[in-house]
Amino acid sequence: MPQQKDIVKIAIQMPGAYPQLIQLDQKKPLSAVIKEVCDGWNLPGPENYALQYADGVQTYITESNRLDIKNGCILRLTKAPGRCAEDLYKGIQSSDAGVRCDSLKELASVSTDVTFAQEFISRDGHLLLVKIVEDSNESNVIMTHTLTAFMELMDHGIVSWENLSSVFIKKIASFVNAKPTDASIQQVSLDILESMVLSSHGLFLQVKQEVTMERLIAHLQVTNQQIQTKAMALLMALLQTAGDSDRQVMFEFLNKRNLRQYIYKNIIYSSGSVQDEMAHYLYVLQSVTLNHLEPRMRTPLDCYSQEQRDILHGLRQAAFETESENSLSNERRRSLCAKEFKKLGFSNNSNPGQDLVRTPPGLLALDTMFYFAARYPDAYSRFVLENSSREDKHECPFARSSIQLTLILCEILRIGEPPSETGSDYHPIFFSQDRLMEELFCVCIQLLNKTWKEMRATQEDFDKVMQVVREQITRTLSSKPTSLELFKNKVNALNYSEILKLRQTERLHQEETLAPPVLELKERLKPELLELIRQQRLNRLCQGTMFRKISSRRRQDKLWYCRLSPNHKMLHYGDLEEDIDNPPIEILQEKSDRYKRLVDWQRLSSHEGEQRQTEQVLDLAFSITYDVEEYSLNFIAPSRTYFCLWTDGLSVLLGREMSSESMRSELEILLSMEIKLRLLDLENVPIPDSAPVIPKPPSNYNFCYDFSQTEQ
C-alpha cells in the first residue's frame, strides 16, 4: 500500500464527459495514470493524450513537475504535446487562410508551455515562423499571431537569438520604423527587438543600425500605452547594452531631442498614472542618466590642476569684494585668501582643495558649488555674507555644508548604483528638469541655511542639521513632486518644527502598535531610566563648566566657572583670569545655596531693561534667581548641549521635572535599548559569572584610521 502522503485527490475533466475523481498515486508512472483515465472514458491510444492544469496557467503535467499537484487540483485530459505540435505545424502550412490564422492563434497560446515549445522547436517549427515573417505575405492578424508565437517560443531559451538571419532582423525593424501599421504588430516587434539587444552585442549593433532613435521617440508620443512602454523598454535596452562611447552619443542625441520633456508631457503628465512596467523603465532611464555624474563623484580634486584651483578662487572672489590682489605681496595675498576661504566654510583654509579630496562626492561637490554661485549669484552671496557676520560657533559653513549635502543627494538619488532589475522608484521631477542634481542642490543648500537658523545650531550640531535636511529632502521627494518649483515649495514648508511633529506622530504610532505587555514594560522602566539621567546631570554639574561673562552693555571676553559641590548643597563659582580645565573648588571665590527658581534670559532681560542680545545668546541663556529678588546668577551656555545639561541638572536640584529635548532623546534611546535587551531570547544561553579576559594590546596601532579630516 502506498503511503498516504503519496496520494493526491484530484478531479480530471474532458469536454463532453463527466469529470473523474481519482486518487493520484505519485509513485505510479504518469503514462499509467493517463492510461487509467483514458480507460475510464473508453478512449483508445492513451499515448496521444496528456494531463494539463485546467485553471490558471495551463501547464502540461510531466514527470518533473507532477509533485506540484495538490489536493483538490482540477486537471483536464488534452492532446499530448507532440501530437499538438504536429497538428499545429501542419495547420500553419495549410492553403486555407482561416486554418492558418486559427493554428497560429492557438500556437501563440500554447507556446507559453516549455514542454510544448520543445516539441514544436524539435520539428523546426520556429524556422517556419521565421519564413512567414521574411516573406511577409500574410494579413496583419496572421502576422501578429506569428510574431507573438515566435516571441513565446524564443522566451524559453531553447534556441539562440544569434541564429536569426539579418533579413529577419531587418523585417522586424521595418515593422517598428513603419508609420502607418497595425499597433499589435509594432508592440510585439518592439518586444522582439528588445530581447535581441539584450542577448548579444552583435545583435545590439544590428538593431541600433536598423531602428532610428527618432522613431523610438515618436513612439513615446502616441496614445497607446503599450506602444509607449515597449518603445521605452527597447530604448533602455539600447542604452544599457551600449559601450561608454556609444552611450554618450545616444545621450547627446536624446538630449537634443528633449527626450525627458517628451516623457514628462506624453507619459507622466498626460496619463496621470504610470503602469508598473513603465515605472520601471522610467526608473532605469533616471538611474542610467544620473550615473553619468559618477566619474566626477569618484574623482578627488587635484591640487595641481590650475583649472580646479581657478574654480576654487572663483568661488572666493564671487563671495567677497576684495581689493586688487595683484597689488598685494605674496604673504598678504595668502593671508587674505586663507581668511576668506575660512569664511567660506573650508576646514583647511590654507589649502581648501584638501576638503574635496574625499570621494564621494569628490569633484561633484565643486561642480555643485560653482553652479550655485554662477546660476544664483545673489543667493550665493547672501548665504556666505550672512553666515560670515555670525559668531564663529553659529555660522553655517558653506563649503562643509555643500560637500555633505552633495553626498546626501548622491545617496538619495542613488548615483553610482546600477539600476535594480525590479526598481520602480523614479522621481517625476527628474523628467521636468534638465540638470536635476545641480538645481536640487541650489534649492537644498538654501533650505539647509534656513533649517540651521530654525534649529539655532552651532558647529557641534552640524550632523544633526544634516540629518534633518536629509529627512526634509527624502520626505518631499517621496510625495512625487512633478516640478522643481513644487519641490521647492513643499520642502520649505516642511520646516524643523514640522519634522519634529512628524517624528512624534510616527513614534506614537509605533508605540500604539506595540503589544500591551511591551507598553507595560516600557512604563515600568521609565522611572528607573529617568533616575539614571538625573544622576548623570548632577554628576555633570559636579564636574563644572566654563561660561562666558556678558554684561548689560557689551560682550566681554571674561570667563567664569561654576560647579556643584559633591554633596549637592552648594554652587561654587568665580571669575577666572584664563581658561583652566576643571579648576578645583578651592579657587572659586563665591558660593551659594539660595537658588530659588530657574528662569530664561529673555524674561529676565525684559524685566531689567538690558539691551537686546542676539538670538543665539538668548537661546543659550538661563538664570538662577535667589531668595533675595534683587540678585541673580546669569548663565550663557557654551552650546545647546551644555544648556540642556545645566537646565536639567538645576531642575533636579529644584525638585522639578527635566524638560530638555536632550533628556527626551536620551530617554527614548535608553528605553529602546533596554526593551530590546529585556525581550532577547536568552533561554538556554549560558551567562558567565565573571567578565571575559581582556586580550593583550597589539604591538602597534597602524591599523587605526584617522577620521579627523573626514565627515562622519
**For residues 112 and 152, is the Cβ–Cβ distance under 8 A?**
yes
Point out the domain boundary residue: 274, 294, 314.
294
Domain membership of residue 692 (yes or no) is no
Point out the domain boundary residue: 79, 98, 119.
79
Are 311 and 287 members of one domain?
Answer: no
Are 207 and 342 members of one domain?
Answer: no
Are 542 and 654 members of one domain?
Answer: yes
Are 495 and 571 members of one domain?
Answer: no
Residue pointed to by grid coordinates 561660561? 547
- Rounded to the nearest angstrom, the gap between the alpha carbon of residue 464 and the centroid of all alpha carbons in its chain is 19
The three state secondary structure string of 288-299 is HHHHHHHHHHHC
Domain membership of residue 703 (yes or no) is no
Domain membership of residue 608 (yes or no) is yes
The mean predicted confidence, pLDDT, of the chain is 86
How confident is the model at residue 1, as a pLDDT? 47
Q: Which domain holds residue 530?
A: 526-664
Kindly report whether the global pTM for this prediction surpasses the value 0.75: no
Domain membership of residue 641 (yes or no) is yes
Residue range 191-202: mean pLDDT, rounded: 92
* Residue 162 DSSP symbol: G
pLDDT tens digits along 522-533: 889 999 999 999
Are 87 and 64 members of one domain?
Answer: no
Helix (H) or strand (E) holding 261: helix 259-263
CB within 8 Å of 495: residues ≥ 6 apart: 450, 451, 454
pLDDT tens digits along 344-364: 989 888 888 899 988 889 999
Comparing 213-227, 324-338, 633-647, 672-686, the range with the smallest average pLDDT is 324-338
Domain membership of residue 516 (yes or no) is no
The three state secondary structure string of 549-613 is EECCCCEEEEEEEEEECCCCCCEEEEEECCCCCCCCHHHCCEEECCEEEEEEHHHHHHHHCCCCC
Are 542 and 649 members of one domain?
Answer: yes
Q: How far apart are CA 358 and CA 377, in angstroms?
A: 26
Mapped onto helix, strand or coil, the DSSP state of residue 56 is coil
Domain membership of residue 690 (yes or no) is no
Are 433 and 543 members of one domain?
Answer: no
State the pLDDT confidence band at 458, using cuts at 50, 70 and 90.
confident
How confident is the model at residue 191, as a pLDDT? 94
- Rounded to the nearest angstrom, the gap between the alpha carbon of residue 327 and the centroid of all alpha carbons in its chain is 51
How confident is the model at residue 557, as a pLDDT? 59
Comparing 214-218, 267-271, 659-663, the range with the smallest average pLDDT is 267-271
Are 54 and 92 members of one domain?
Answer: no
Is 80 exceeded by the pLDDT of residue 269?
no
Domain membership of residue 585 (yes or no) is yes
pLDDT tens digits along 20-75: 999 988 889 999 999 999 999 999 999 999 999 988 788 999 999 998 899 989 99
Is 60 exceeded by the pLDDT of residue 565?
yes
Percentage of the chain with pLDDT > 70?
90
Are 46 and 172 members of one domain?
Answer: no
Residue pointed to by grid coordinates 521574411? 134
Point out the domain boundary residue: 64, 79, 94.
79
Are 491 and 536 members of one domain?
Answer: no
State the pLDDT confidence band at 311, using cuts at 50, 70 and 90.
very high
Strand-pairing partners, residue 53, are: 75
Residue range 407-426: mean pLDDT, rounded: 90
Split into its structural domains, the chain has a count of: 4
Are 289 and 412 members of one domain?
Answer: no
Strand-pairing partners, residue 590, are: 573
Are 493 and 439 members of one domain?
Answer: yes
Q: For the domain that residue 283 is a member of, what is the CATH number?
A: 1.25.10.10
Q: For the domain that residue 617 is a member of, what is the CATH number?
A: 2.30.29.30
Domain membership of residue 411 (yes or no) is yes
